Structure 1
Amino acid sequence: MKNIKDLFVLVSKQYNAKKPHAEDCLNLVCAALDKLSRESSYEYYGDFRGSPNVTYYSYSVEGSISRPVRPDLFIYDSSSFAEAYHELLNGYGKVPSEWSCSEKDSANKVIYTGVMSIACCYDLWQRGSRKTPGTFFEILMAAVLKELFSELYFSKHIPLTEFLEDVNLAEITGNDSDAGLADDAGAESEESASSLSTDLVINNVKTGKGLVIPLKITTRERIVQPFAHQRILDSAFGMGRFTSFVVCISETQQDAKNVKVNQVCVPGTVKLFQKYLAPIGGLYYCDIPQRYDANDMQRVIPIKSVGDLFVDAYHFFEL
């Protein structure tokens, strides 16, 4: 794992220094894929028993097993991943609004593979570093989005000084540093009582519109956070100035006793927050939970693939 950990530190430093890091992300993912291929077994784990059933594989080594992986979304070969990754960075040679369904599917697979390859390596060989996969999710998405939307301004904070006095937003929203780079790469947290911190904020300085992108491997009990942040932004800046696109990998959970995969969802909670706390622009998943893809959910909140995120971001900024 030393090579992977060293590459992770390198890409984290590049990201914190606001330097281009897309190729560093590629090197890290390819190293992870190659290590998984050489040193572990990749085999059928079990199904999510839904309609239809969804098959999951996992990596294993010496009695340890990784989180479940969807083989139809996972590019297990590093050379194939590198090719798909560069095609995504190139925007498939066209603006996102012109991407085909297959190109959006490919983009979805690239993000899923990138994050899950790192997650599986840390599951098997560095289980104590729980937060590293989530941190890399942020770094990878920033790298890809900066390539596709290079004319926009990226940050992690929205100043609220003129609206709030002596208010600690971390206490209000439950936001802390456990998803930030400070935990894994020694970055200094910039969060204060006068700014709202999230994973990515993209601004169009010409129009003033901003897109807030919370990134979560899985939402679990922290689903309230993006809705609470959106409520603060709507109150401070008015409706429409900032919109949140919440981006996740999956909601899967291993059931080792029954050798199957569960999808842990809270549809009632999401509906409640969307209707009565603050409406967000959409939920995006690489592995969309079947319960969230149901008609009753889609009527309340758009739920799409991460491949669709890039297209929707393009339309949001009206580029």
Structure 2
Amino acid sequence: MPSDPLEAYEDLQDVFSKDVKGEANQNLIGEVYRASCQFLAKADSQPLKSLVSGKEYIAFKFGKRLSRAVNKQLFAAEPKEWGVFCKAIASKREPGMESERITRIIYSVAASFFCFIDLTKDGDQKTPGTFFEYLIGHLFAWRLDVNPKTRLPVLNLDMEATLPTDFVFDLGPNRAKFHLPIKVSTRERVIQVWAHQRVLDGVYGTGRFLGTPVILTETKTDKKKREVIEICLPDQWRIYQMHIAQLKRITTSTCRLPTRGSMTFSLR
């Protein structure tokens, strides 16, 4: 049982793509969460000035380093809750848990590891982003009971070719196909989400793949002023939606697994 969050994360990296929906990934995500909470127990938490209506934020401080903002109402360093959640979704049906509780669990798993990285590594944006992809990708794969693809064949008369994509879930003939971009923030080149959808529409036909991006947060922290601001740009998204491609749903504050009786949890 790794005591270092990074060691647990590296174990997850080693096995994740072998079976995205597999229980091994679920267990290792829990280990990352547990080890991250143990580390954060050694850090101080400090309140931040929130310029986001109705939300309170804190940050963790370790030495001279300060973490990103954490939603105070959603964060709980309670690793046992992940085990409870996993038991609740074991049947791959709607869990018998309140959506607010699921909210806190999923948010806390992600935020705890992000803060660990913030407090131990300089300028590492890739590792938190990849972990969030693992977390959300696994939950979708587990719920849909199908592993995603990250490359799709493209019809080409001269040569065989494949198209690299975000997670794509194909539920079989005459059933839904989901294009699932996963991002920590829309500051991460969000226009790529619409660009990938445009390519999928062009190759396979409009509407064949339902674009359902999941975005964790639309806030930004000014660490000098200790302030948190909202950075959502809905007008820009509307332009992309009108002139590049049509996404089925953009999830920023609520993540809904795309089936009837799906799980719902807040992510902002």
User: Which of 35, 39, 44 is 1:41 aligned to?
Assistant: 44
Q: TM-score, normalised by structure 2?
A: 0.86
For the pair 1:218 / 2:158, whether they are aligned, the reply is no
For the pair 1:156 / 2:150, whether they are aligned, the reply is yes
Name stretches of at least 5 consecutive residues in structure 1 with no aligned partner.
167-192, 289-304
Whole-Å Cα distance in 1 between the matches of residues 63 and 77 of structure 2? 20
Contact 1:252–1:263, Cα closer than 8 Å, also in 2: yes
Whole-Å Cα distance in 1 between the matches of residues 103 and 158 of structure 2? 41
Contact 2:26–2:138, Cα closer than 8 Å, also in 1: yes
Q: 5 Å matches for 1:220-299?
A: 220=187, 222-285=189-252, 288=253
| Structure with the bigger percentage of helix | 1
Task: Give CA-to-partner distance per residue, 1:99-129, whole Å, 9 cap, x none.
Answer: 78x7333333332212111110000012343
For the pair 1:104 / 2:104, whether they are aligned, the reply is no
Whole-Å Cα distance in 2 between the matches of residues 164 and 46 of structure 1? 58
Whole-Å Cα distance in 2 between the matches of residues 194 and 257 of structure 1? 48
Name stretches of at least 5 consecutive residues in structure 2 with no aligned partner.
263-268
Whole-Å Cα distance in 1 between the matches of residues 73 and 84 of structure 2? 17
Contact 1:218–1:248, Cα closer than 8 Å, also in 2: yes
Aligned to 2:80: 79
Deviation, 1:259, is 2.6
Contact 1:153–1:205, Cα closer than 8 Å, also in 2: no
Q: What is the DSSP-based 3-state SS (H/G/I as helix, E as strand, rest coil) of the residue aligned with 1:216?
A: strand
Aligned to 1:169: none
Whole-Å Cα distance in 1 between the matches of residues 106 and 200 of structure 2? 28
Whole-Å Cα distance in 2 between the matches of residues 121 and 165 of structure 1? 49
Whole-Å Cα distance in 2 between the matches of residues 316 and 276 of structure 1? 33
Distance of aligned partners of 1:27 and 1:248 in 2 relative to their CA distance in 1, 3 Å threshold: same
Deviation, 1:88, is 4.4
Q: What is the DSSP-based 3-state SS (H/G/I as helix, E as strand, rest coil) of the residue aligned with 1:282?
A: coil
Deviation, 1:256, is 3.1
Q: 5 Å matches for 1:1-319?
A: 3-18=4-19, 20=22, 21-37=25-41, 39-47=42-50, 49-50=51-52, 52-90=53-91, 95-96=93-94, 103-150=98-145, 152-160=146-154, 162-163=155-156, 194-220=161-187, 222-285=189-252, 288=253, 305-306=254-255, 309-310=256-257, 313-315=258-260
Give the percent of matched residue pairs that are identical in Structure 1 and Structure 2: 22
